Amino acid sequence: MSADDGRPPSETPSRNRDATSPPDSSEARTPSPSSNRDDDGLLGRFMTAQDGPLLFIRETLTSVGAVLLIGALLFAVSGVWPPMVAVESGSMDPHMQKGDLIFITGPERFTPDAAVDGTSVVTAETGAEMGYRSFKGYGSVIVYDNPSIGGPPIIHRSMLWVEEGENWYDRANPEYMGADNCEELRYCPAPYAGFITKGDANPGYDQVSGISAPVKPEWVQGVARVRIPYLGWVRLTLGGTLSAATPVTPGLGFTSGAVTASQAALALAS
C-alpha cells in the first residue's frame, strides 16, 4: 500500500536511548553476582558449614541455646535452682539409689491439702491417714540443708511434724527410736517446731541417730517429684563424689542421704 493511502503513520517507540540520557528510574536494577555473594557470604557459610570452625561455633551456640531453654523451662516448673539433685548415698534405698537424678520443686509449690501449713510437705503420719504417697512410701521426700552441720544437703522422708516443746516420743514409731522414753533422746521434747525425718533404708529417725536436729521449714530446699535412674552418676563423677557416704553412728547403719546440686541433665543436652 502506498504511503499516501490516508492512514496516519504508526508510532514506533525508539529502542535506542541516548547514551547521555539518565536511566529510567522505573527500570529494575539487576544486582550483580558479586553483591549477592557479599550479602550471603558469611551467614550462608555459617549456616551451611559441614566442617571447620564455623561448624564448631554453630554447634556450640545451638547446644548452649538448648541448655538455656531447658533450664528456663525446668526453673519455670520447679521454682528452684538448680532443679535437680544427684543422690550420693544409699540411705533412701530402694526407692532412691545412689546415682539417681531427682527433679525437685520449691518447698511451697504444688501444695497438697494434707501439707503442713506454709509448706508443700506432707508427713508420713498424715500421708498414711490421707492416702498421700510419694516414691512408694507415705509422705513427702524432701531435700534439706541444716546450716549447723557440714556437708551437702540431705534427701530423706518427712515423717512427723512436731511443735516446740512437744514430747513426740509416743507419736513416733518405736522401731525407729532406739530409746525407752523421751528423756533419752537429744531432741525430745522438741526444741522448736519442725520435721522429724528419716532415710527409708536407715533404721532410725535422723533426730535419733544424730544426723540432724528437727528440720525447720526454712531449711527445706525442695520436695522430690521425679526420679531419673543412673543419670546422677554424670554429676557425681564430674564432682568427684564417688566415695561412699560416711556412717553417722558406727554399728547402727545410719547414713545421711546426701545430694549434690546438679545440672547434669542440662549438660547432656549438649
Q: What is the pLDDT of residue 69?
A: 77
Q: What is the pLDDT of residue 227?
A: 95
| Residues 168, 65 within the same domain | no
**Per-position pLDDT tens, the chain of length 270:** 444 555 555 554 444 444 455 555 445 455 555 555 554 677 777 778 788 787 788 788 887 887 677 767 766 777 788 888 999 999 999 999 999 999 999 998 889 999 999 999 999 999 999 999 999 999 999 999 999 988 899 999 999 999 999 999 999 999 999 899 999 999 999 999 999 999 999 999 999 999 999 999 999 999 999 999 998 888 788 766 433 333 333 223 445 667 765 443 333 333
Structural domain harbouring 153: 79-267
Q: Is residue 148 assigned to a domain?
A: yes
Q: Is residue 36 assigned to a domain?
A: no
Closest alpha carbon to 135 in 109, 84, 97, 85: 97
Q: How far apart are CA 15 and CA 60, in angstroms?
A: 57
DSSP state of 258: B
| Residues 90, 61 within the same domain | no
Q: Is residue 20 assigned to a domain?
A: no
| Residues 47, 128 within the same domain | no
| Residues 100, 50 within the same domain | no
| Residues 90, 196 within the same domain | yes
| Cell numbers found for residue 134 | 510419694
| Residues 214, 141 within the same domain | yes
Contacts 24+ apart (CB under 8 A), 172-175: 172/196, 172/205, 175/203
Q: Is residue 190 assigned to a domain?
A: yes
Our count of domains for the chain comes to 2
| Residues 242, 232 within the same domain | yes
| Residues 253, 121 within the same domain | yes
| Residues 62, 125 within the same domain | no
Q: The pTM is what?
A: 0.69
Give the three-class secondary structure for 161.
strand
Q: Is residue 216 assigned to a domain?
A: yes
| Residues 84, 59 within the same domain | no
Give the three-class secondary structure for 101.
strand
E strand spans, the chain: 84-87, 101-105, 133-134, 137-138, 141-144, 154-162, 194-198, 220-228, 259-262
Q: Is residue 239 assigned to a domain?
A: yes
**Contact at 8 Å (CB) between 219 and 180?**
no
| Residues 140, 71 within the same domain | no
C-alpha 6 chain-centroid distance: 94
Crossing angle between the packed helical segments 52-78 and 33-48, to the nearest 10 degrees: 60
Q: Is residue 19 assigned to a domain?
A: no
Q: Is residue 191 assigned to a domain?
A: yes
**Contact at 8 Å (CB) between 253 and 137?**
no
Q: What is the pLDDT of residue 120?
A: 96
| Residues 131, 254 within the same domain | yes
